[in-house]
């Protein structure tokens, strides 16, 4: 993960706008946080589910393609090195 405090003001504003739009698209910030907690609690990683679906109390997200473990590991190492 990156250190948010070390980012430029433009990058912080961009992240704020992205998170605001994401929260608005799922019904508000509490629903977004509940969805993130639901994703975090799933094991193995939710992107690898064959059902291609993750849900919280009020939100369901579906996708078309399963992502394999090697790709998930690659994404996680890229984020931890950033």
Closest CA to 55 of 33, 38, 68: 38
Q: For the residues 42-47, what does the mean pLDDT come to? A: 72
Question: What residues make up the domain containing 47?
Answer: 4-81
pLDDT band at 80 (very low <50, low <70, confident <90, very high): low
CA 11 to chain centre: 18
More confident residue, 8 or 62: 8
Q: Quick count: other Cβ atoms within 10 Å of Cβ 52?
A: 15
- How many domains in the chain? 1
Whole-prediction pTM? 0.58
Q: Encode 4-16: b = buried (16+ Cβ within 10 Å), e = exposed.
A: eeeeeeeeeeeee
| Whether residue 1 has pLDDT greater than 60 | no
- Which CB contacts under 8 angstroms, 24+ apart, belong to 49-57? 56/31
Residue 20, classed as helix, strand or coil, is helix
Q: For the residues 51-75, what does the mean pLDDT come to? A: 78
Q: Dihedral, CA atoms, 61, 55, 14, 9, nearest 10 degrees?
A: -170
């Amino acid at each position: 993960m990156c250190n948010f405090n070390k980012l430029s003001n433009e990058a912080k504003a961009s992240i704020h706008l992205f998170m605001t739009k994401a929260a608005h698209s799922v019904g508000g910030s509490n629903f977004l946080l509940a969805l993130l907690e639901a994703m975090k609690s799933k094991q193995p990683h939710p992107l690898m589910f064959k059902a291609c679906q993750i849900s919280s109390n009020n939100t369901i997200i579906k996708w078309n393609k399963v992502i394999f473990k090697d790709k998930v590991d690659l994404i996680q190492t890229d984020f931890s090195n950033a």
